[in-house]
Structure 1
Amino acid sequence: MKNSLKIASPQMQTIQACARANKIAVSMGFAENDNNSLYIAQLLLGPDGAILVHRRKMKPTHMERTVFGDASGHCFTSVASLPLMEGDDPVRVGALSCWEHIQPLLKFATLSQGEDIHVAAWPSLTPHSGDGPDMWSMSNEGCMSLSRTYAIEASCFVLHCTAVISDKCVQANGSAAGVLFSAPGGGSSAIFGPDGRLLTQLLGETEEGIIYANLDFDAIMRAKMFADCTGHYSRPDLMFLTVQRQLKSVVRTIEGQDAKLDEVTAGATN
């Protein structure tokens, strides 16, 4: 909990200052501490350091639920516009975390916000063992398939971002004898085009590094000419999604006529 990041903190201000000083946008995933409740969170910072998106994972997966809480409806707003070069149109950038990429409704709510670039944030992902008890869907092959599928479904570029863990991390987590996070490595970051093609070379799974790709945004137009699942390739007259975007509070104040009615009822009871 002490290593988790608070939004209003000197540490966050340092990250914002770095983005501003280098004139770069930053998408990052982190464990968020909100008054000592923990959430799996993602931020999108603009090149001026401003927070453009702050969202939380809608439903932590499996063992994550012993530590992290659920998001509220305001976290459906997960896409924002980012400036590129002067004179160019801004691009729409969004993000989801880990196995949120198997949630069809959540994916649809996200890609319907018009993403050009999607950040798919993942933990350390290792190759499947073959005949072992580990799930193929949680392997680097399985999770990369989910990111690639998102690129095709959304007709957008996908930044498939994975963590690399060290032996020190494995020992600290006590996970050496487990199925997940049991060995150093786990890196398999990649960039996919709007038609699902791989645009980058894979690094070694224990290698930390930065991967680069030139993004031709005309490729989005070419992909959407064939299928735009929230545009010409949709049937909202037959199928549509309803989303509640409100932030749900644990305290709701009753005012106006309802409050007066409560007072009258209380007086009659007394």
Structure 2
Amino acid sequence: MSPYQRGVCGWSTAGLIPRMLDPRVSIMDMVAIPSVLDHKFSLTMDTPSRTRSVDFGLSTTYIKNSLRIDSPEMGRICAAAKEGNISVVLGFSENLNHSLYISQAIIDHEGIIRVKRRKLKATHMERTVFDEASGSSLTNVVDLAGIGQEESSVPIWEYSGGPDLWSMSGDGSRTLSQAYAIESQSFVLHTTAVLSQDGIDRMDTSNGLVMNAPGGGTSAIFGPDGRKLSEDLPDTVEGFLYADLDLDDILKSKSFLDVCGHYSRPDLLTISVNDIERVLADSA
């Protein structure tokens, strides 16, 4: 298993596919790729980070370059997963009728999209760019799941989704990932972006309060007991992290503390889930 710590600004679909077919990837069963990977995270409305408040040109470019599920580009990504015989957890900016969503797709080794979900609620400055998900993204009780960014900090959402967690600091980001691994008794492929100077220049954030210097890579692999199984990369370096996962480690953790099983109290605490996809107009 491997998360990929990659750079912001400089990965198009054409750049992603060669990395999926990299010989280093051929030895893996699964690769996790961080949130909104294929297109630069838009800071066009983030006034504190930018030297000017709005960039309509960059906003337009971002929308036009965000990935559609039924697009030829997504088809090529799926074909690459099949050619490389790997499963891929892909974070991307999804374009649906020119509305954007922070989305994830789990593509199996046959090139078939098995799970597609959206981040339940955009966070802070994301709300100026991205829409919210509906109930169909509550894909709970699955063997392989995805969480987008701050969803890990809302306990009631965590187990509806499970590899891409985020906070405003590297330490906070890792703490959320480790806590999620322990609480869910799962392996976490914690994938993060590396902010490059090219990305800073393109988004015009060099004089901003945040995202004004290269770095930010904190990718790691955590076991179901919270232990880190991978070796760190420098925070400015793109690269693969590797770990062999022994699934029996999950049972070892569950035998001690199973928060969704013998250590739960559904007679005291339950939640109600609305998993229906919302639509603008209902003809029924």
Map 1:107-146 → 2, pairs under 5 A: 107-110=158-161, 118-122=162-166, 138-146=168-176
User: Which of 157, 182, 186 is residue 152 of structure 1 equivalent to?
Assistant: 182
**C-alpha distance in 2, partners of 1:77/1:197?**
26
TM-score (norm 1): 0.80
**C-alpha distance in 2, partners of 1:108/1:38?**
24
Q: Is the CA contact (8 Å cut-off) linking 1:78 and 1:95 kept in structure 2? A: no
User: Which of 208, 220, 241 is residue 190 of structure 1 equivalent to?
Assistant: 220
* Equivalence for 1:168: 198
Q: Is the CA contact (8 Å cut-off) linking 1:109 and 1:241 kept in structure 2? A: no
**C-alpha distance in 2, partners of 1:31/1:191?**
24
TM-score (norm 2): 0.76
- Find runs of 4+ consecutive structure 1 residues off by over 3 angstroms: none
Q: Is the CA contact (8 Å cut-off) linking 2:152 and 2:165 kept in structure 1? A: no
Query: How far does residue 78 in structure 1 lie from its aligned partner after superposition?
Result: 5.8
Letter of the aligned partner of 1:120 in structure 2? D
Q: Is the CA contact (8 Å cut-off) linking 1:109 and 1:243 kept in structure 2? A: no
* Equivalence for 1:12: 74
* Equivalence for 1:222: 252
Letter of the aligned partner of 1:14 in structure 2? R
Greater relative CO (CA pairs within 8 A, separation 6+): 2
What is the aligned-residue RMSD (CA, Å)?
Answer: 1.3
Cα shift readout 1:67-87 (whole Å, capped 9, x = no counterpart): 10000000011665xxxxxxx
Query: How far does residue 180 in structure 1 lie from its aligned partner after superposition?
Result: 2.6
Distance 1:231 1:78, change over 3 A: closer
Answering whether residue 158 of structure 2 is matched by residue 96 of structure 1, we say: no
Cα shift readout 1:178-210 (whole Å, capped 9, x = no counterpart): 233211121110000100001111100011000
* Equivalence for 1:106: 157
**C-alpha distance in 2, partners of 1:34/1:244?**
22
**C-alpha distance in 1, partners of 2:226/2:71?**
38
* Equivalence for 1:42: 104
* Equivalence for 1:239: 269
Identical residues among aligned pairs (%): 46
Query: How far does residue 3 in structure 1 lie from its aligned partner after superposition?
Result: 1.5
Residue-pair matches, total: 222
The structure number with the bigger radius of gyration is: 1
**C-alpha distance in 1, partners of 2:189/2:210?**
23
**C-alpha distance in 2, partners of 1:218/1:236?**
26
Q: Is the CA contact (8 Å cut-off) linking 1:4 and 1:32 kept in structure 2? A: yes
**C-alpha distance in 1, partners of 2:276/2:195?**
36
Range that drifts further, 171-180 or 16-25: 171-180
**C-alpha distance in 2, partners of 1:156/1:108?**
11
**C-alpha distance in 1, partners of 2:173/2:165?**
10
**C-alpha distance in 2, partners of 1:66/1:189?**
27
* Equivalence for 1:54: 116
Letter of the aligned partner of 2:148 in structure 1? S
Which runs of 5 or more residues in structure 1 are unaligned?
A: 81-91, 111-117, 123-136, 255-270
SS at match of 1:21: helix
SS at match of 2:146: strand
**C-alpha distance in 2, partners of 1:222/1:57?**
31
**C-alpha distance in 1, partners of 2:165/2:146?**
7
